């Protein structure tokens, strides 16, 4: 199992990226860090295979984190996730280890494509297909449960979901319990899974009440 370290000062973004790569691309999540300093602390003990990081990090520069990562694992790969992809100039020292530079405006398709290709290259059996990214659990839910699920993925609270769908708060809470029961997960896992679904390409918006 290949291990990935995700570093982004927007922790929700970092957690979503880490969740995608872990759940959908068959990677073991080493850690999710919101600062360069946290990432350096992780790298003192860990030796991940892939570093996914933003260019703007509080505490330490992205270069310091990337250099520490490559010191720990010279064969590792670095993937830059940034809103400044068009202006990024790859340093000479990073070029041999750079997997790619992904613009956050196109993040999910490009991110999964690059990481899936890298994983495929490292598989013992090269004839095996690259990791596919699917979340089949959505199809297990009823139409109304799907609407609640989509709204949770947007970070809406129960009362906000209730307003969006024309339901009572108690009804939303009941739907959440039913969804958790169907999927065999906890309430916190439900929110994380809903966010992952939203991060997939072309997610459906939270629908209006019928």
- Tell me the per-residue pLDDT of 40-55, one tens digit each, with 9 for 90 and over: 999 999 999 999 999 9
Query: Do the Cβ atoms of 129 and 123 come closer than 8 Å?
Result: no
Q: What's the rounded mean pLDDT across residues 101-120?
A: 76
- Residue 53's pLDDT is 94
Query: Does residue 51 or residue 105 have the better pLDDT?
Result: 51
pLDDT at 7 over 80: yes
Bridge-partner residues for 103, per DSSP?
82
Q: What's the rounded mean pLDDT across residues 8-33?
A: 83
Query: Does residue 137 or residue 19 have the better pLDDT?
Result: 19
Q: What pLDDT, in 10s, does the model give residues 140-186?
A: 788 888 889 888 877 788 999 999 999 999 999 999 999 888 777 77
Query: Do the Cβ atoms of 136 and 114 come closer than 8 Å?
Result: no
Q: How many CB atoms lie within 10 A of CB 96?
A: 9
Which of 11-25, 90-104, 182-196 has the largest mean confidence? 90-104
Query: Domain limits of the chain?
Result: 3-122, 136-199
Average pLDDT, the chain: 81
Query: Does residue 133 or residue 64 have the better pLDDT?
Result: 64
pLDDT at 13 over 90: no
For the chain, report the end-to-end CA distance as a whole number of angstroms: 45
- Residue 132's pLDDT is 40
Domain covering 3-122 in this structure, CATH number? 3.40.50.2300
Q: What's the rounded mean pLDDT across residues 106-112?
A: 69
Q: What's the rounded mean pLDDT across residues 113-130?
A: 63
Closest CA to 199 of 41, 12, 49: 12
Residues 101-137, buried b or exposed e (16+ Cβ, 10 A)? bbbbeebbebbbebbbebbeeeeeeeeeebbebeeeb
Give the model's confidence band at 92: pLDDT under 50 very low, under 70 low, under 90 confident, else very high: very high
- Residue 76's pLDDT is 95
Query: How is domain 136-199 classified at the CATH fold level?
Result: Arc Repressor Mutant, subunit A (1.10.10)
Q: What's the rounded mean pLDDT across residues 122-141?
A: 52
pLDDT at 74 over 90: yes
Q: What's the rounded mean pLDDT across residues 76-84?
A: 89
Query: Do the Cβ atoms of 194 and 152 come closer than 8 Å?
Result: yes
């Amino acid at each position: 199992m290949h291990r990935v370290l995700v570093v982004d000062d927007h922790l929700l973004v970092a957690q979503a990226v880490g969740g995608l790569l872990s759940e959908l691309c068959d990677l073991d999540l080493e850690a999710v860090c919101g600062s360069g300093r946290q990432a350096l602390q992780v790298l003192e003990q860990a030796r991940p295979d892939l570093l996914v990081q933003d260019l703007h990090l509080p505490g330490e520069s992205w270069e310091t984190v990337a250099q520490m990562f490559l010191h720990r694992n010279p064969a590792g790969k670095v993937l830059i996730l940034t809103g400044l992809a068009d202006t990024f100039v790859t340093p000479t020292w990073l070029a041999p280890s750079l997997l790619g530079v992904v613009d956050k405006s196109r993040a999910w398709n490009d991110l999964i494509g690059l990481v899936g290709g890298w994983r495929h290259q490292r598989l013992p059996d090269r004839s095996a297909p690259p990791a596919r990214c699917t979340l089949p659990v959505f199809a297990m839910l009823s139409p109304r449960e799907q609407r609640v699920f989509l709204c949770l993925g947007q970070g809406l609270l129960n009362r906000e979901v209730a307003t969006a769908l024309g339901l009572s708060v108690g009804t939303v809470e009941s739907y959440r319990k039913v969804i958790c029961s169907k999927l065999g997960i906890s309430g916190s896992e439900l929110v994380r899974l809903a966010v992952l679904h939203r991060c997939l390409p072309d997610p459906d918006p939270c629908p209006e009440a019928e």
